[in-house]
Structure 1
């Protein structure tokens, strides 16, 4: 086999060009920065950070480099890639270039042993893994060391996720530092992203050991060469190009209500080129938009974190083949989906960062001359941003409680077991544990998490700076909505693009608005009717949380059927674009306790009329509340009057006026409410004498434990069945 360090450089470039044509077509030619990166990896074994716009050809760099390195006897390339959709696109691209690619992720557990055997036998050129695999105990301890010793090239795709300054920070990605430390000397490393401002570039460089100090300055090709080796034998390379996207025409259309935005979609979709993506901020909104557009005759599919893998694959294939006009997607489709002829991207609601917005709109116009990009901001956007901000790294007290709980246990604790000891919801708890794991304070092992006993400092200053950066990004997003300057220039400046030359000439501010904020009355009425459809199921809790005995609550296992509630109903979700808008206002923190608004009573009537209960309720009971006693009691009494049902009274508070902590995970919430409610003698007597199901009314359902505990009290008092009803569910 030839040695790339001695082969004529022109011959090596010819070989690279031939590989690129296999990958991208006969007309493809390497960009100068692509060749610079490939040469650095293949000839010099360097570490490189490539920050280039979507569609520039970053994947071509690592696939061509892989083929060149494998032809010269190198081990397989390992690509750390964040999303299944991105992995599937990458595998397809590799196959077109004659590269054998496999993936290990959460969706193909049954293939892991076979794939690992193929890697060991040298039959795999590229192995794609998700960042979560890096901290799976079996994979980390058994597979990763073998990979590190054999890998020929390490690629970190969407590398902005390494940085906690990036818009999509993922703690698991920081495990790559450990992987880097275990690589043999001289193994090349490539990190790629399209969405990194100067702060993120610097942080990613530090995380990957590709420090940028000692840079030699701007190169003619638009990149920057660096001079430190970050632990490698060769110095490092940073390539950064222009972020302009000549095909994208950016527009902002401000409409007053959700129904007007839905109507706008229905009217404009037929006029938009090809097929595209409609992004929403929540899963509920994606479902609502999908249902409405289908009712108007459009072939669309929903795509979110809750979509089953098989359905995701089908939706991706349908969009690639133009069998659907659009995917209605959350940020689960945010990175890497490769459809060069994607004709449009619409955002129904603004992301909380211009950087995240640029990343998502970059899906469009990669292989066509013109693509439309529309932002339809909503009044609910800031409330949704606030919710996601609440999931940030917890306060020090909660972190210390977690560390203390693990240290006191003296054995591994699962996340479920920790919930009984720490008042954090599972998603936030798991994210925090991943950060602590990277910091060395805890370790993930079989059976859960254990304390390492190492000292750990709460970096309050850094967390505050990250929070401030997030708030600044939100302000910038609002500024983008209202700016009168070139929109592409605005986004490029947010990404610290050093190559801004002037206005784009394509956006609504440069070329004039082509979309007006007016919609027809017929489409608006259809949208209003669709959004006004009330009714969300409230599934009953069937199991008590694990570890309640540690909290002094003697409940365990299955909830006996004789003590449980039936499936209930709510008027709507707080995250809905229809009822959610009105419910968020009614139930907002600080909103006054008031009587039930008349329009909501109409919606409740529709929910009750459509309820497929086995037996119609004959009585109504409300749940006591220190926040909204008037609203809940008024709602219950009016339902009783309308349905000619007997109002039996209210489940009382054991300690009137005692405020409960908001939210909380399941175990902690059950602890809060377990002894918080009582039945008065009068209500207990009324329930015992009553015949027929009882409708149990509350203002909103979050974890579901208030309803479960109150229903249990009623069932123990003799209620034949309890049907929960709430104005809202939180998700």
Structure 2
């Protein structure tokens, strides 16, 4: 708080300070620098304001207090748009202490919507929280939003970096907020808040907030930006590069107890988080997984367990991100680096909010760049996909649901949902009752914009690699692109365009390695545990055994497909051969549960598999024979496969991109396992490479007539008299290839079909 702000708005300051103390439950509470300035700008001046302040500064206090003060002055309810409704329980409870009546409308409480709508109509709600996805919902947009806009006393855009293409967590639905801001009168204050915004994001958000903004003197462009220092003195940063997954996991098993308090261990993939939690969990020191696959109820319990220190750590993906608040979080460790320093800063900002010291350690992996590239390409809409969607909607006489669109366009389900959001924000499509329609509004693919975004993402990735290499004396193509002696906190601050940062004196560049050396004896657990834990006398046997057990898992099960996708009739699947398949796949035509060595997102064996299954600079798959180490691993998978009846033969899926790899795999298995090499399924004469990540309906359509049972194969199958066979391929992705191939083999008289591949994509 500055003296001038309090002097300019003395009555408001006294009233706001009283409300702050009720909000916090502390009679000695005082405003942080910038908090009252923001409140005064909103309540007394009705300004548009952007607050860029570090995590833990108290942005939620600004918008809840501003909402309360606006209501006391006769304004309508505040509308808070946030992606973090499920994580705002604590803030809402605190707001209630100050007399703020807050409710939320989200997918988590549909049974309460009617009651909330009645309370809104009766003017009994001060703050309504909604997710950005609600703004797309036809019923909400038609029935609730117009009344809220008409009565709105304050609009809050939480995590405002999501508005911007340049933000680290851009979300298409957030771009609708520009239109919402434009609908508000200039007298309605608007607040945008974020903890992670560089100058480019700030300028983008300012431009969107200023659509109809006016300064107090009536001139245009009255957006007030309050930006504070983004560094935190409590954080002790470090990065430790280890050669492989085994050593990284060994390090965590041996040294987790050296990190004080409880914390978060971030991973880049769901499977890595689940594997890590299994590895580190002990009865006396629990570690749990928290991912996008975790049920909402379980998430709430896990968050509470971590806040109350009932568990040592959560092994988490980015699903545990913005909005989680544990002021005394003791450490944040990353097993694998996020794709940008800004995203990294956002996650490490969970730690050390109300403590003098918190430890932040990065353990980068060799697979990081491949994972970054996968997520980057998966989130970018393509011109071809957009054209397919717009054409399908334009040609339909009625709204199309998302499954109905899937039957008409060759886009994977998750990518289609993202694309529809982008097109909806741009006004080319609209969600209505019954599905989606084309608006007829002209739309052009903004290739320059997406190329600029892609270029920025590549620059961010390089910056993250530079961060990892700080403190090293390197030369050559992998040398750090900035001063290697630069303080880690200063580096992160500069990535956020915060030039006020000074060397922290605490990180491993400033003060040397503060974290345990990989050669140090294992950390002693804080309390006694069961037999089999890591010995406290420095022995590494316990850690070795635990890591070996995880990395030595023999095979990952692959569940068979059990139902045909919808819309196959639209794609004329079946054709002259009969009616299109629908419903459940008959048991006698299904594949059995299959096996792969590992998922491509796994720890351990995924590393050599990614090397074998790599592509060249032009994106072409590299073909080679199966290396001996991977061949030996396949043998172990076969030995541990607990099948009902041992297979007697091997059939290969024909490959146009890796024929040598698949054939060498099938031949090797047949030789070592003393199975009959039945050869390969035949390819239809017009079968070419399968390109792109197709959705299920289009994948089935592309595969339906792709394979044939050759006369030679039919003769060999007949001789086996219904015995089980292995079906071999290089990679399992959508599982439709093995599903279609297994159906063909079963209809040709084979027994059970057991799919076996090197890896699974998902």
Q: Bin the TM-score by the shorter chain.
A: over 0.9
Distance 1:226 1:511, change over 3 A: farther
Deviation readout 1:405-424 (Å, 9 max, x if unpaired): 21112322222222233222
Q: Is the 8 A contact 2:723 2:751 kept in 1?
A: yes
Q: Is the 8 A contact 2:379 2:418 kept in 1?
A: no
2-structure distance, mates of 1:345, 1:479: 20
1-structure distance, mates of 2:69, 2:408: 53
Q: How many residues align?
A: 711
Match of 1:429 in 2: 416
1-structure distance, mates of 2:440, 2:686: 43
Distance 1:37 1:563, change over 3 A: same
Q: Is the 8 A contact 2:162 2:174 kept in 1?
A: yes
CA positional deviation for 1:176:
1.3
Deviation readout 1:348-384 (Å, 9 max, x if unpaired): 1111111111111111000111110111111000000
2-structure distance, mates of 1:130, 1:517: 44
Q: 1:724 aligns with which of 752, 755, 759?
A: 755
Question: Structure 1 length normalisation: TM-score?
Answer: 0.93
Could you say what the CA RMSD is over the residues aligned between the two structures, in angstroms?
A: 2.3
1-structure distance, mates of 2:640, 2:218: 69
Match of 1:652 in 2: 682
CA positional deviation for 1:109:
2.0
Q: 1:542 aligns with which of 562, 586, 608?
A: 562
Mapping of residues 44-443 of structure 1, within 5 Å: 44-209=45-210, 229=220, 235-294=222-281, 298-443=285-430
Mapping of residues 563-712 of structure 1, within 5 Å: 563-590=589-616, 592-655=622-685, 658-690=688-720, 691-712=722-743
Deviation readout 1:93-150 (Å, 9 max, x if unpaired): 3234332222211222222222222222223222211111110111111121122222
Q: Is the 8 A contact 2:399 2:436 kept in 1?
A: yes
Which runs of 5 or more residues in structure 2 are unaligned? 1-6, 471-484, 522-539, 575-579
Distance 1:52 1:8, change over 3 A: closer
CA positional deviation for 1:226:
11
CA positional deviation for 1:297:
6.0
Match of 1:4 in 2: none
**Secondary structure at 1:331 match in 2:** coil
Distance 1:213 1:45, change over 3 A: closer
**Larger mean Cα displacement after TM superposition, 287-296 or 608-617:** 608-617
**Secondary structure at 1:332 match in 2:** coil
Match of 1:3 in 2: none
Which runs of 5 or more residues in structure 1 are unaligned? 1-6, 215-224
2-structure distance, mates of 1:184, 1:532: 63
1-structure distance, mates of 2:645, 2:29: 68
Deviation readout 1:665-717 (Å, 9 max, x if unpaired): 22222222211111111212222342332221111111111111100110110
Distance 1:112 1:595, change over 3 A: same
CA positional deviation for 1:178:
2.5
CA positional deviation for 1:516:
4.9
**Secondary structure at 2:156 match in 1:** strand
Distance 1:154 1:28, change over 3 A: same
1-structure distance, mates of 2:358, 2:210: 38
1:19 aligns with 2:49: no
Question: Structure 2 length normalisation: TM-score?
Answer: 0.89
Distance 1:98 1:324, change over 3 A: farther
Q: Is the 8 A contact 1:51 1:239 kept in 2?
A: yes
CA positional deviation for 1:299:
0.7
Match of 1:468 in 2: 455
Q: Is the 8 A contact 1:227 1:236 kept in 2?
A: no
CA positional deviation for 1:8:
9.1
Q: Is the 8 A contact 2:266 2:332 kept in 1?
A: yes
CA positional deviation for 1:536:
1.9
